[in-house]
Structure formats: structure tokens, C-alpha cells
Amino acid sequence: MKPKGQVIITGVSSGIGHAIATKALAEGYYVQGISRNEPLDLRGKGRWSFFSADLTRPEAIDTIPFMTGDAGGPTILINNAGVLGPVCKSEEATWKNINKTMNLNIVAPMRLSARFLAEVKGDKQIYFTGSGAAEHVIEGWSAYCTSKAGIHMYANVLQQEYPEVRIHAFKPGKVDTPMQEEIRRSREENFPLVEAFRKEHEEGKLVKPDVVAQKVLKLIGEPADVPVVVSLSEIEL
């Protein structure tokens, strides 16, 4: 299979990131995964490479080597790693939890994207895992909602600054991932909507990670007139 390009993706140990990495390899991309732990099912696969990094640490971000070489297509950075952060009333959120959420959800993708833009040559694209929580007030999720609103804005700013680079933040919907499991474990006094999330899971309404992966890879190949912030529900398979 002729290589289609190179995908560099953060947060590949599980969930959306793991699904995109797996699908990209199957479609012929070279894939560089970045997270603290390497997914064992991808280790040793052709066209796969891995770099272990704790993206909450600025010094770790600056040591990540970007995949280089001619893979016959664009080099694509997918800033996917993220954390739900504190689920509680805002006055109860600690500095430590807020700082970790902002570092992983905003600071890391900003710094990694800055390095990518400066260091990677040729045709390149940047994607961010956004969220509908960026556009809706969700009680108990002050840090997460704020961080995702920030990443949507950052994607829009980047597109203005670099019109020659394709840049998108994609909203995947409610996806059946470890983060959703964490949400369902929340206490109702901290997150009043928790029962609605539990019900959607019981009714099988969550999006599967492999469907998200298929839509992201289709988005990469779609015409560039797609909005900067795009809902994956608008992309048909």
C-alpha cells in the first residue's frame, strides 16, 4: 500500500486517539503516537512509531521529535490528548486540578502546534479534539468547558494566522471512552446531569471511537471549505 502521509497524534493509549491511530495505520499512513503509555496492540506494527511523554510537563513537550521523511502526503498533527478535570462546583476546584486540566487541554496543544508550524516543512495540517462542551454551560465542568472553548478559539486564530495550513477542531459528540466512564462515576451533587449521561450509555447512544476515527480521516480528505470548528455528526460515512 502506498503511504498516504504522516499522522502525529497525542493521547493514543485509549479512546479516540487509539482508534484514530489504528485506523490511520490501516489506511496506509505512517503514524507517530505520543502519550505516557504505548498501546501494546500497536507495538511492532509497520509504519508505527511511539514517543512517551507526559504532556502536562512543558519540558517534555519540547523534547518530542516530530516524524520526518517523505510519506507521499501531508504531515498531520492531531492534538487529541485531554482530561475531564475537576467535576465539582468552581469554588471546590483546586489549583492543582485546574492547572493540570489547562496544561493538558490548552497549553500542550498550543505549544506542540507552535513547534509543528515552525519545524515541519511541506504540506501540513493541524487538528484538535474539541467538544460540544465548549459551546454549552455544563454545571460542574468549569475547567473542561473553559479549556475546550479555548481550544476552539485557538484553532480559529491559527487558521487566520496560517491560511495556507488546514486547521480544524472537531466535535466528536458523546463517545464511548474512558472519559465517559469517569463522567458516569460522578456524584450528582457535583454533576447534576450525571443520570442523563448514564441513561444514554445504557441505551447504547454513545458514539463508538472507531466511527469517530473514520470520520476524522474522511475529514482530512474532504475539501478545505469545511468550517474550522466542525461537528463530526455533519460528516457522513
Report the catalytic residues: 144
Tell me the C-alpha distance between 48 and 135, whole Å. Answer: 35
Upper half-sphere CA count for residue 220 (Cβ side, 13 Å): 27
User: Phi, psi (5° rounding) for residue 164?
Assistant: -80, -10
Tell me the C-alpha distance between 212 and 16, whole Å. Answer: 7
Tell me the C-alpha distance between 109 and 17, whole Å. Answer: 14
Tell me the C-alpha distance between 225 and 61, whole Å. Answer: 31
Task: Note whether 105 and 147 are within 8 A (CB).
Answer: yes
